[in-house]
Chain A
């Protein structure tokens, strides 16, 4: 009985997170299309990554943990989704940062217009690049 209640709660929470994730995902993709340059698009991509992928993955993990009909292999889903979510939490920002830094330094993407650019001043002082 208690077990069923716990499963129910897990599935409800999972569903909620999945739905939130889907909406955030759609918003992120719209932002990626609408925003004017690469550096601003990074923010939209973060929306798509954290709420669009991390949250629904955790939701799916909870859902699978509560969804008995998947059989004994449901822990496989839970574990896989949890590890994937953790990895995305670690990898997503690092990837964004690496891309941003590379494209700023190599001028592959131009961040302007900006209201303030501390990095440009830094490079001008240091005489780099």
Chain B
């Protein structure tokens, strides 16, 4: 029974993982193959977001028991005792990937905002955001 449950859980979790892998593939296709710069930017955001979710999954931990979910890495008391800390360590998820993703999200946002300004400038100069037409106009 426990094993079947575990297998079901694994199946469900794998669906998530493979959906994300496919998302990576689709968004890379969008970046490299779609002609519109705006579409490329949308695909770029999806790509970096998917990378971030993958990083968070690395930091996730399995459930200690079916009723006991892992907890976010925040201590809920301001004066924790040793037992509190031990309980916390045994249930909290990995905080480091979350911190890395925090950094990565902000960086991705910065780059995307700058690319949006650049795309606007491309449109001002070329009158189009289609890279094929931009390449043709450039000669």
Contacts and interface: CB of A to CB of B under 8 A. Distances in A.
A and B touch in the complex (CB under 8 A): yes
Interface of A: 71-73
B65 interface: no
A73 B74 CA distance: 12
Chain B interface bracket (under 10, 10 to 19, 20 to 34, 35 or more): under 10
Nearest to B76: A73
Interface of B: 76-77
4 contacts: A71-B76, A72-B76, A72-B77, A73-B76
Contacts of B76: 71-73
Nearest to B74: A73
A71 B84 CA distance: 13
Contacts, number: 4
A73 B77 CA distance: 9
Nearest to A70: B76
Contacts of B77: 72
B1 to A, nearest CB: 28
A72 B76 CA distance: 9
B130 to A, nearest CB: 24
A88 to B, nearest CB: 24
Contacts of A71: 76
A73 B76 CA distance: 7
* 4 interchain residue pairs of minimum CB distance: A73-B76, A71-B76, A72-B76, A72-B77
A66 B95 CA distance: 31
Contacts of A72: 76-77
A123 to B, nearest CB: 33
Contacts of A73: 76
B117 to A, nearest CB: 26
A73 B71 CA distance: 14
Nearest to A71: B76
Nearest to A76: B76
A64 to B, nearest CB: 14
A71 B76 CA distance: 9
A115 B29 CA distance: 48
A97 to B, nearest CB: 28
